[in-house]
Amino acid sequence: MDNQKGCLLVIGVLLIVALVGLGMVWVVQNTLQEAVEPVQAMTGNAYRLGTEVAKILHPTPTVLPDPVTIIHSVRSLARLETIQYTLEKVIRAENGSGPLALLFGDKLLFVAHGKVIAGIDLEKLGPENLEIKNGVLYVTLPEPEIFVTALDNDKSYVYDRETGLLTKGDINLEAEVRQVAEQEIMKAALEDGILNQARQNAESYLFRLFNQLGFREVIFSQVEATPVP
């Protein structure tokens, strides 16, 4: 009987200790939670404060275009572009040639890529240039023209340049070479007959246009050039 009472007493003591331990754990957890929450709040506030400071020190730029737009000129174009040439030309240039070239010379090798566009200016095509006889339309076309000559700056480049020992080179040499390159590109296109091809393409295009308008037969001729005295 005494042994049973002793066992019950021991079990009761262990239960009391376990309950006390659980109570202490709960108290500690609550205490830690209460201590962490202010720290988390402070951390969040510090982060937001840092963000605001960053915005002040490194503001995002605001682009505000001027609402006023000035239109200087508006023109209606009637250019019939009928052909485009894409060309490449190698241009050589040099300054200070002679016995002092080793000291003051400047040589440049430039590879130019460009385009030439030609066609017919239909603004020069008036009623007097159109005549109908026996159902045949006679069209006198204006002379073909070069509309555009331009370098492709993305593809054009200085291939090589040599300067003398006592000079840094002419800063204007490349600009001059680019101007010459445009002229040479246009010259090459003219020599290849770009204007004749522009005229032929214009006639082919206009023939289809007039044909759709009901003219089955169209004869083209060119304006006679005024002789230079």
Q: What is the pLDDT of residues 144-187, one digit of tens each?
A: 999 999 999 899 888 887 765 555 666 777 788 888 889 999 99
Q: Which two tokens stand for residue 101?
A: 């070239």
CA 221 from chain center: how many Å?
Answer: 42
Q: Which two tokens stand for residue 190?
A: 């003219």
- Residue 191 backbone phi and psi in degrees, to 5: -65, -25
Could you tell me where the beta strands, DSSP code E, fall in the chain?
A: 79-95, 106-121, 130-133, 136-141, 145-151, 157-163, 217-222
Query: What is the model's pLDDT at position 13?
Result: 42
Q: How far apart are CA 167 and CA 71, in angstroms?
A: 46
In terms of Cα–Cα distance, which of 144, 147, 149, 138 is closest to 188? Answer: 149
Query: What is the model's pLDDT at position 183?
Result: 92
Q: How many CB atoms lie within 10 A of CB 116?
A: 24
Q: Classify residue 112 as exposed, middle or buried by CB count within 10 Å of its CB (0-12, 13-18, 19+).
A: buried
Q: Report the predicted TM-score, pTM, of the whole model to 2 decimal places.
A: 0.62
For the chain, which ranges sit under pLDDT 70? 1-69, 71, 73, 75-76, 95-105, 163-170, 223-229
Q: How far apart are CA 159 and CA 110, in angstroms?
A: 6
Query: What is the model's pLDDT at position 98?
Result: 58
Query: What is the model's pLDDT at position 7?
Result: 47
